Amino acid sequence: MTDAVALPDTDARARRNVAVLVAAQAILGSQMPMTFVAGGLAGNYLATNPCLATLPISLIVFGSMTTAPWLSPLMQRRGRRLGFFIGAFGGAAGALVAAYGLWIGSFALLLAGSYLTGIYMSAQGFYRFAATDLASDSFRPKAISYVMAGGLLSAVIGPQLNKLVQDAYVIPFVGTYLAIAVLNIVGMFLFFALDLPGKVAKAAQGTAARVRSIPELLRTPRIIVAVICAMVAYSLMNLVMTSTPLAVVGCGFTKNNANDIVSAHVLAMFAPSFVTGHLITRFGAPRIIAVGLVCLAAAGLVALQGITLGNFFVALILLGVGWNFGFIGGTSMLAGAHEPHERGRVQGMNDMIVFGFVTLASLSSGGLMNCVGGDVVQGWHSVNYAMVPFLALAGGALWWLARRVE
Protein backbone atom coordinates (compact mmCIF):
# COMPACT_ATOMS: atom_id res chain seq x y z
CA MET A 1 0.00 0.00 0.00
CA THR A 2 2.85 2.37 0.82
CA ASP A 3 4.39 1.97 -2.63
CA ALA A 4 1.05 2.59 -4.34
CA VAL A 5 0.49 5.84 -2.41
CA ALA A 6 4.02 6.98 -3.14
CA LEU A 7 3.62 6.65 -6.90
CA PRO A 8 3.75 10.02 -8.67
CA ASP A 9 0.66 11.02 -10.62
CA THR A 10 2.52 10.70 -13.92
CA ASP A 11 3.35 7.07 -13.27
CA ALA A 12 -0.18 6.31 -12.09
CA ARG A 13 -1.52 7.59 -15.40
CA ALA A 14 1.30 5.89 -17.29
CA ARG A 15 0.41 2.55 -15.68
CA ARG A 16 -3.20 2.93 -16.76
CA ASN A 17 -2.13 3.59 -20.34
CA VAL A 18 0.25 0.65 -20.20
CA ALA A 19 -2.65 -1.63 -19.18
CA VAL A 20 -4.71 -0.46 -22.18
CA LEU A 21 -1.78 -0.85 -24.55
CA VAL A 22 -1.04 -4.35 -23.24
CA ALA A 23 -4.63 -5.33 -24.07
CA ALA A 24 -4.30 -3.76 -27.53
CA GLN A 25 -1.05 -5.60 -28.10
CA ALA A 26 -2.73 -8.87 -27.13
CA ILE A 27 -5.92 -8.49 -29.21
CA LEU A 28 -4.97 -6.44 -32.25
CA GLY A 29 -1.41 -7.80 -32.18
CA SER A 30 -2.76 -11.31 -32.76
CA GLN A 31 -3.09 -10.46 -36.44
CA MET A 32 0.67 -10.20 -36.95
CA PRO A 33 1.60 -13.88 -36.43
CA MET A 34 -1.47 -14.81 -38.48
CA THR A 35 -0.36 -12.50 -41.28
CA PHE A 36 3.22 -13.73 -41.26
CA VAL A 37 2.12 -17.34 -41.59
CA ALA A 38 -0.55 -16.61 -44.20
CA GLY A 39 1.34 -13.96 -46.17
CA GLY A 40 4.22 -16.07 -47.45
CA LEU A 41 2.14 -19.20 -48.08
CA ALA A 42 -0.66 -17.22 -49.77
CA GLY A 43 1.95 -15.42 -51.85
CA ASN A 44 3.42 -18.76 -52.85
CA TYR A 45 -0.08 -19.85 -53.85
CA LEU A 46 -0.78 -16.81 -56.09
CA ALA A 47 2.61 -15.56 -57.32
CA THR A 48 3.69 -16.67 -60.77
CA ASN A 49 7.35 -16.32 -59.73
CA PRO A 50 8.35 -18.19 -56.52
CA CYS A 51 10.96 -15.51 -55.80
CA LEU A 52 8.03 -13.16 -55.08
CA ALA A 53 6.35 -15.46 -52.55
CA THR A 54 7.20 -13.25 -49.59
CA LEU A 55 6.25 -10.01 -51.39
CA PRO A 56 2.94 -9.72 -49.43
CA ILE A 57 4.93 -9.55 -46.19
CA SER A 58 7.34 -7.07 -47.76
CA LEU A 59 4.40 -4.85 -48.70
CA ILE A 60 3.19 -4.91 -45.08
CA VAL A 61 6.56 -3.68 -43.89
CA PHE A 62 6.81 -1.18 -46.76
CA GLY A 63 3.37 0.13 -45.78
CA SER A 64 4.60 0.56 -42.23
CA MET A 65 7.74 2.36 -43.40
CA THR A 66 5.83 4.84 -45.57
CA THR A 67 3.15 5.40 -42.91
CA ALA A 68 5.44 6.20 -39.98
CA PRO A 69 6.72 9.57 -41.34
CA TRP A 70 3.21 11.06 -41.48
CA LEU A 71 1.54 9.09 -38.69
CA SER A 72 4.03 10.12 -36.01
CA PRO A 73 3.69 13.90 -36.62
CA LEU A 74 -0.10 13.48 -36.82
CA MET A 75 -0.09 11.89 -33.36
CA GLN A 76 2.19 14.69 -32.16
CA ARG A 77 -0.44 17.23 -33.22
CA ARG A 78 -3.68 15.35 -32.60
CA GLY A 79 -2.82 12.72 -30.00
CA ARG A 80 -2.06 9.01 -30.00
CA ARG A 81 -5.68 7.84 -30.00
CA LEU A 82 -6.41 9.11 -33.52
CA GLY A 83 -3.28 7.43 -34.85
CA PHE A 84 -4.21 4.13 -33.25
CA PHE A 85 -7.74 4.30 -34.70
CA ILE A 86 -6.25 4.92 -38.14
CA GLY A 87 -4.01 1.89 -37.67
CA ALA A 88 -6.89 -0.42 -36.71
CA PHE A 89 -8.98 0.83 -39.62
CA GLY A 90 -6.08 0.19 -42.00
CA GLY A 91 -5.66 -3.32 -40.60
CA ALA A 92 -9.35 -4.13 -41.09
CA ALA A 93 -9.46 -2.68 -44.61
CA GLY A 94 -6.26 -4.43 -45.61
CA ALA A 95 -7.49 -7.80 -44.38
CA LEU A 96 -10.75 -7.48 -46.32
CA VAL A 97 -8.96 -6.47 -49.53
CA ALA A 98 -6.48 -9.37 -49.12
CA ALA A 99 -9.34 -11.83 -48.52
CA TYR A 100 -11.08 -10.66 -51.67
CA GLY A 101 -7.81 -10.90 -53.60
CA LEU A 102 -7.41 -14.51 -52.52
CA TRP A 103 -11.04 -15.26 -53.36
CA ILE A 104 -10.70 -14.06 -56.96
CA GLY A 105 -7.08 -15.19 -57.38
CA SER A 106 -5.58 -11.69 -57.67
CA PHE A 107 -2.00 -11.38 -56.45
CA ALA A 108 -2.19 -7.61 -57.00
CA LEU A 109 -5.12 -7.27 -54.58
CA LEU A 110 -3.34 -9.45 -52.03
CA LEU A 111 -0.43 -7.02 -52.26
CA ALA A 112 -2.74 -3.98 -51.97
CA GLY A 113 -4.33 -5.44 -48.86
CA SER A 114 -0.89 -6.17 -47.44
CA TYR A 115 0.14 -2.55 -47.93
CA LEU A 116 -2.93 -1.35 -46.01
CA THR A 117 -2.11 -3.80 -43.24
CA GLY A 118 1.19 -1.96 -42.97
CA ILE A 119 -0.74 1.05 -41.64
CA TYR A 120 -1.76 -1.07 -38.67
CA MET A 121 1.80 -2.36 -38.23
CA SER A 122 3.09 1.22 -38.14
CA ALA A 123 0.52 2.25 -35.53
CA GLN A 124 1.31 -0.81 -33.43
CA GLY A 125 4.97 0.21 -33.45
CA PHE A 126 4.02 3.39 -31.59
CA TYR A 127 2.36 1.50 -28.71
CA ARG A 128 5.77 1.21 -27.08
CA PHE A 129 6.42 4.94 -27.43
CA ALA A 130 2.95 5.84 -26.14
CA ALA A 131 3.76 3.88 -22.99
CA THR A 132 6.63 6.31 -22.28
CA ASP A 133 4.78 9.58 -22.88
CA LEU A 134 3.81 10.08 -19.24
CA ALA A 135 6.33 7.71 -17.65
CA SER A 136 9.11 8.79 -15.31
CA ASP A 137 12.71 8.05 -16.25
CA SER A 138 12.80 5.01 -13.95
CA PHE A 139 9.50 3.59 -15.19
CA ARG A 140 10.16 4.19 -18.91
CA PRO A 141 12.09 0.96 -19.72
CA LYS A 142 9.58 -1.07 -17.70
CA ALA A 143 6.64 0.56 -19.48
CA ILE A 144 8.11 -0.39 -22.86
CA SER A 145 8.70 -3.95 -21.67
CA TYR A 146 5.22 -4.39 -20.22
CA VAL A 147 3.58 -3.24 -23.45
CA MET A 148 5.76 -5.58 -25.46
CA ALA A 149 4.84 -8.38 -23.03
CA GLY A 150 1.25 -8.06 -24.23
CA GLY A 151 2.49 -9.91 -27.28
CA LEU A 152 2.56 -13.09 -25.20
CA LEU A 153 -1.20 -13.40 -25.50
CA SER A 154 -1.10 -12.51 -29.19
CA ALA A 155 1.47 -15.28 -29.66
CA VAL A 156 -1.08 -17.76 -28.39
CA ILE A 157 -4.28 -16.24 -29.78
CA GLY A 158 -3.00 -15.55 -33.32
CA PRO A 159 -1.56 -18.93 -34.38
CA GLN A 160 -4.25 -20.94 -32.59
CA LEU A 161 -7.01 -18.86 -34.16
CA ASN A 162 -5.30 -19.26 -37.51
CA LYS A 163 -5.43 -23.05 -37.15
CA LEU A 164 -9.20 -22.81 -36.78
CA VAL A 165 -9.87 -20.45 -39.68
CA GLN A 166 -7.09 -20.93 -42.27
CA ASP A 167 -8.97 -23.75 -44.04
CA ALA A 168 -12.51 -22.57 -43.24
CA TYR A 169 -13.07 -21.85 -46.94
CA VAL A 170 -12.19 -23.74 -50.09
CA ILE A 171 -9.45 -21.22 -50.78
CA PRO A 172 -6.82 -21.38 -47.99
CA PHE A 173 -6.33 -18.34 -45.74
CA VAL A 174 -9.47 -16.45 -46.77
CA GLY A 175 -10.77 -17.24 -43.28
CA THR A 176 -7.50 -15.96 -41.80
CA TYR A 177 -7.92 -12.52 -43.33
CA LEU A 178 -11.61 -12.29 -42.39
CA ALA A 179 -10.72 -13.12 -38.78
CA ILE A 180 -8.03 -10.41 -38.86
CA ALA A 181 -10.63 -7.86 -39.95
CA VAL A 182 -12.79 -8.78 -36.94
CA LEU A 183 -9.84 -8.46 -34.55
CA ASN A 184 -9.19 -4.91 -35.76
CA ILE A 185 -12.82 -3.83 -35.47
CA VAL A 186 -13.21 -5.25 -31.96
CA GLY A 187 -9.81 -4.10 -30.72
CA MET A 188 -10.12 -0.46 -31.75
CA PHE A 189 -12.64 0.20 -28.96
CA LEU A 190 -9.83 -0.23 -26.42
CA PHE A 191 -8.35 3.12 -27.41
CA PHE A 192 -11.25 5.01 -25.84
CA ALA A 193 -9.72 4.09 -22.47
CA LEU A 194 -6.36 5.79 -23.17
CA ASP A 195 -5.55 8.84 -21.05
CA LEU A 196 -3.36 10.51 -23.67
CA PRO A 197 -5.60 12.39 -26.14
CA GLY A 198 -3.86 15.56 -27.18
CA LYS A 199 -2.36 16.31 -23.78
CA VAL A 200 1.22 15.31 -24.49
CA ALA A 201 1.03 16.67 -28.03
CA LYS A 202 -0.14 20.10 -26.84
CA ALA A 203 2.57 20.23 -24.23
CA ALA A 204 5.14 19.45 -26.90
CA GLN A 205 3.75 22.06 -29.26
CA GLY A 206 3.87 24.68 -26.55
CA THR A 207 7.64 24.56 -26.18
CA ALA A 208 9.76 27.17 -27.91
CA ALA A 209 12.79 24.91 -28.09
CA ARG A 210 14.16 24.15 -31.54
CA VAL A 211 13.65 20.66 -32.96
CA ARG A 212 16.89 19.35 -34.40
CA SER A 213 17.00 18.32 -38.04
CA ILE A 214 17.25 14.66 -39.00
CA PRO A 215 20.97 14.96 -39.94
CA GLU A 216 21.64 16.59 -36.56
CA LEU A 217 19.76 13.85 -34.75
CA LEU A 218 21.65 11.14 -36.61
CA ARG A 219 24.95 12.73 -35.59
CA THR A 220 24.04 12.11 -31.94
CA PRO A 221 25.95 8.92 -31.01
CA ARG A 222 23.28 7.32 -28.79
CA ILE A 223 20.55 8.02 -31.35
CA ILE A 224 22.38 6.58 -34.36
CA VAL A 225 23.53 3.49 -32.42
CA ALA A 226 20.00 2.95 -31.04
CA VAL A 227 18.56 3.17 -34.56
CA ILE A 228 21.18 0.78 -36.00
CA CYS A 229 20.65 -1.82 -33.28
CA ALA A 230 16.86 -1.68 -33.47
CA MET A 231 17.09 -1.86 -37.26
CA VAL A 232 19.37 -4.91 -37.22
CA ALA A 233 17.36 -6.75 -34.55
CA TYR A 234 14.06 -6.22 -36.37
CA SER A 235 15.45 -6.83 -39.86
CA LEU A 236 17.11 -10.14 -38.95
CA MET A 237 14.03 -11.34 -37.09
CA ASN A 238 11.90 -10.53 -40.13
CA LEU A 239 14.40 -12.02 -42.59
CA VAL A 240 14.35 -15.42 -40.88
CA MET A 241 10.73 -15.50 -39.70
CA THR A 242 9.38 -14.60 -43.15
CA SER A 243 11.08 -17.64 -44.68
CA THR A 244 10.26 -20.01 -41.84
CA PRO A 245 6.75 -21.12 -42.97
CA LEU A 246 8.10 -21.71 -46.48
CA ALA A 247 11.05 -23.69 -45.11
CA VAL A 248 8.91 -25.74 -42.71
CA VAL A 249 6.32 -26.69 -45.34
CA GLY A 250 9.04 -27.13 -47.98
CA CYS A 251 10.83 -29.63 -45.72
CA GLY A 252 7.73 -31.82 -45.59
CA PHE A 253 6.05 -30.57 -42.42
CA THR A 254 2.49 -29.23 -42.19
CA LYS A 255 0.91 -25.77 -42.03
CA ASN A 256 -0.03 -26.52 -38.42
CA ASN A 257 3.64 -27.24 -37.69
CA ALA A 258 4.45 -23.84 -39.17
CA ASN A 259 1.78 -22.21 -36.95
CA ASP A 260 3.23 -23.91 -33.86
CA ILE A 261 6.77 -22.81 -34.66
CA VAL A 262 5.68 -19.22 -35.29
CA SER A 263 3.69 -19.33 -32.03
CA ALA A 264 6.79 -20.46 -30.12
CA HIS A 265 8.79 -17.73 -31.85
CA VAL A 266 6.32 -14.97 -30.96
CA LEU A 267 6.13 -16.21 -27.37
CA ALA A 268 9.92 -15.95 -27.23
CA MET A 269 9.71 -12.44 -28.69
CA PHE A 270 7.53 -11.18 -25.87
CA ALA A 271 8.03 -13.47 -22.83
CA PRO A 272 11.35 -11.85 -21.82
CA SER A 273 9.59 -8.47 -21.71
CA PHE A 274 8.61 -9.08 -18.10
CA VAL A 275 12.28 -8.73 -17.15
CA THR A 276 13.85 -6.83 -20.06
CA GLY A 277 12.99 -3.42 -18.61
CA HIS A 278 14.42 -4.36 -15.22
CA LEU A 279 17.57 -5.68 -16.87
CA ILE A 280 17.99 -2.47 -18.87
CA THR A 281 17.54 -0.40 -15.71
CA ARG A 282 20.17 -2.46 -13.90
CA PHE A 283 22.77 -3.16 -16.58
CA GLY A 284 22.09 -0.49 -19.21
CA ALA A 285 20.63 -0.76 -22.71
CA PRO A 286 23.95 -1.40 -24.56
CA ARG A 287 24.71 -4.57 -22.57
CA ILE A 288 21.21 -5.95 -23.09
CA ILE A 289 21.41 -5.20 -26.81
CA ALA A 290 24.72 -7.08 -26.94
CA VAL A 291 23.09 -10.13 -25.36
CA GLY A 292 20.34 -9.87 -27.98
CA LEU A 293 22.89 -9.91 -30.79
CA VAL A 294 24.49 -13.04 -29.33
CA CYS A 295 21.08 -14.74 -29.26
CA LEU A 296 20.44 -13.79 -32.90
CA ALA A 297 23.80 -15.27 -33.89
CA ALA A 298 23.01 -18.44 -31.95
CA ALA A 299 19.68 -18.71 -33.80
CA GLY A 300 21.48 -18.73 -37.12
CA LEU A 301 23.95 -21.37 -35.93
CA VAL A 302 21.18 -23.69 -34.73
CA ALA A 303 19.26 -23.27 -38.00
CA LEU A 304 22.35 -24.27 -39.96
CA GLN A 305 22.76 -27.51 -37.98
CA GLY A 306 19.71 -29.28 -39.41
CA ILE A 307 16.11 -29.14 -40.64
CA THR A 308 14.32 -31.14 -37.97
CA LEU A 309 11.34 -29.65 -36.16
CA GLY A 310 13.61 -29.32 -33.12
CA ASN A 311 16.06 -27.16 -35.06
CA PHE A 312 13.26 -24.93 -36.32
CA PHE A 313 11.77 -24.53 -32.83
CA VAL A 314 15.07 -23.77 -31.08
CA ALA A 315 16.30 -21.41 -33.81
CA LEU A 316 13.05 -19.44 -33.85
CA ILE A 317 12.93 -19.25 -30.04
CA LEU A 318 16.46 -17.84 -29.95
CA LEU A 319 15.52 -15.48 -32.76
CA GLY A 320 12.59 -14.18 -30.69
CA VAL A 321 14.68 -13.62 -27.56
CA GLY A 322 17.36 -11.86 -29.60
CA TRP A 323 14.78 -9.56 -31.15
CA ASN A 324 13.33 -8.74 -27.72
CA PHE A 325 16.64 -7.71 -26.16
CA GLY A 326 17.90 -5.94 -29.28
CA PHE A 327 14.73 -4.08 -30.18
CA ILE A 328 13.54 -3.11 -26.69
CA GLY A 329 17.10 -2.16 -25.78
CA GLY A 330 17.35 0.05 -28.86
CA THR A 331 13.93 1.59 -28.19
CA SER A 332 14.84 2.35 -24.58
CA MET A 333 18.15 3.90 -25.62
CA LEU A 334 16.39 6.05 -28.21
CA ALA A 335 13.63 7.19 -25.80
CA GLY A 336 16.25 8.63 -23.45
CA ALA A 337 18.40 10.27 -26.13
CA HIS A 338 16.16 13.12 -27.30
CA GLU A 339 14.10 15.96 -25.88
CA PRO A 340 10.31 15.58 -25.40
CA HIS A 341 9.54 18.20 -28.06
CA GLU A 342 11.56 16.16 -30.59
CA ARG A 343 9.48 13.04 -30.03
CA GLY A 344 7.43 13.17 -33.24
CA ARG A 345 10.42 13.68 -35.53
CA VAL A 346 12.69 11.17 -33.78
CA GLN A 347 10.13 8.37 -33.55
CA GLY A 348 8.95 8.85 -37.13
CA MET A 349 12.55 8.92 -38.38
CA ASN A 350 13.42 5.83 -36.36
CA ASP A 351 10.52 3.75 -37.62
CA MET A 352 11.01 4.89 -41.21
CA ILE A 353 14.65 3.73 -41.11
CA VAL A 354 13.94 0.54 -39.17
CA PHE A 355 11.04 -0.57 -41.33
CA GLY A 356 12.80 0.53 -44.49
CA PHE A 357 15.50 -2.04 -43.79
CA VAL A 358 12.94 -4.57 -42.59
CA THR A 359 11.25 -4.16 -45.99
CA LEU A 360 14.53 -4.98 -47.72
CA ALA A 361 15.00 -7.96 -45.40
CA SER A 362 11.58 -9.41 -46.17
CA LEU A 363 12.06 -8.83 -49.90
CA SER A 364 15.43 -10.58 -49.70
CA SER A 365 13.96 -13.42 -47.66
CA GLY A 366 11.83 -14.81 -50.47
CA GLY A 367 14.63 -14.47 -53.01
CA LEU A 368 17.16 -16.18 -50.76
CA MET A 369 14.71 -18.92 -49.80
CA ASN A 370 13.31 -19.80 -53.22
CA CYS A 371 15.87 -18.56 -55.73
CA VAL A 372 19.31 -19.24 -54.21
CA GLY A 373 20.67 -22.76 -54.36
CA GLY A 374 19.05 -25.85 -55.75
CA ASP A 375 16.62 -26.81 -53.00
CA VAL A 376 14.79 -25.70 -49.85
CA VAL A 377 17.68 -26.59 -47.54
CA GLN A 378 20.19 -24.50 -49.47
CA GLY A 379 17.73 -21.61 -49.56
CA TRP A 380 17.18 -21.84 -45.79
CA HIS A 381 20.95 -21.86 -45.23
CA SER A 382 21.32 -18.77 -47.43
CA VAL A 383 18.77 -16.91 -45.31
CA ASN A 384 20.71 -17.65 -42.13
CA TYR A 385 24.14 -16.89 -43.59
CA ALA A 386 22.78 -13.46 -44.61
CA MET A 387 22.59 -12.51 -40.91
CA VAL A 388 26.37 -12.26 -40.51
CA PRO A 389 27.15 -8.79 -41.95
CA PHE A 390 24.25 -7.17 -40.10
CA LEU A 391 25.31 -8.66 -36.79
CA ALA A 392 28.80 -7.30 -37.44
CA LEU A 393 27.33 -3.84 -38.15
CA ALA A 394 25.35 -3.70 -34.90
CA GLY A 395 28.18 -5.17 -32.84
CA GLY A 396 30.60 -2.63 -34.31
CA ALA A 397 28.20 0.24 -33.53
CA LEU A 398 27.93 -0.85 -29.88
CA TRP A 399 31.71 -1.15 -29.61
CA TRP A 400 32.12 2.35 -31.09
CA LEU A 401 29.63 3.82 -28.60
CA ALA A 402 31.36 2.12 -25.68
CA ARG A 403 34.73 3.56 -26.76
CA ARG A 404 33.23 7.06 -26.94
CA VAL A 405 31.80 6.73 -23.43
CA GLU A 406 35.19 5.62 -22.10
The arithmetic mean of pLDDT across residues 300-316, rounded, is 95
Task: Give yes or no for residue 231 having a pLDDT over 90.
Answer: yes
Are 382 and 393 in contact, with CB atoms under 8 Å apart?
no
- Position 40 scores a pLDDT of 81
Percent of the chain with pLDDT over 70: 92
Helix/strand/coil for 35: helix
Helix/strand/coil for 133: coil
pLDDT bracket for residue 101 (50, 70, 90): very high
Q: CA 243, CA 362: separation in Å to the nearest integer?
A: 8
- Of the CA atoms within 13 Å of residue 274, those in its CB half-sphere come to 4
Task: Give yes or no for residue 406 having a pLDDT over 70.
Answer: no
Task: Give yes or no for residue 200 having a pLDDT over 50.
Answer: no
- Position 216 scores a pLDDT of 81
- Position 131 scores a pLDDT of 79
pLDDT bracket for residue 203 (50, 70, 90): very low
**How far is residue 371 from each of residues 50, 53, 101, 235, 306, measured CA to CA in Å?**
8, 11, 25, 20, 20
Task: Give yes or no for residue 372 having a pLDDT over 60.
Answer: yes
Spell out the alpha helix ranges (H) of 47-106: 55-78, 80-104
Mean pLDDT of the chain: 86
pLDDT bracket for residue 198 (50, 70, 90): low
Highest mean pLDDT: which of 92-106, 207-221, 257-271?
92-106
Task: Give yes or no for residue 217 having a pLDDT over 60.
Answer: yes
Task: Give yes or no for residue 338 having a pLDDT over 80.
Answer: no
Are 331 and 144 in contact, with CB atoms under 8 Å apart?
yes
Instruction: Tell me which of 194 and 3 has the higher pLDDT.
Output: 194
Q: CA 406, CA 404: separation in Å to the nearest integer?
A: 5
What's the pTM? 0.75
Tell me: the pLDDT tens digits for 7-36?
A: 444 577 788 888 899 999 999 999 988 998
Instruction: Tell me which of 200 and 360 has the higher pLDDT.
Output: 360
- Position 1 scores a pLDDT of 40
The arithmetic mean of pLDDT across residues 287-291, rounded, is 95
- Position 4 scores a pLDDT of 42
Instruction: Tell me which of 18 and 202 has the higher pLDDT.
Output: 18
The arithmetic mean of pLDDT across residues 398-405, rounded, is 86
Domains and CATH numbers, the chain: 9-405 (1.20.1250.20)
Tell me: the pLDDT tens digits for 113-154?
A: 999 999 999 898 888 778 777 677 778 777 877 887 787 888
Task: Give yes or no for residue 205 having a pLDDT over 50.
Answer: no
Q: CA 322, CA 325: separation in Å to the nearest integer?
A: 5
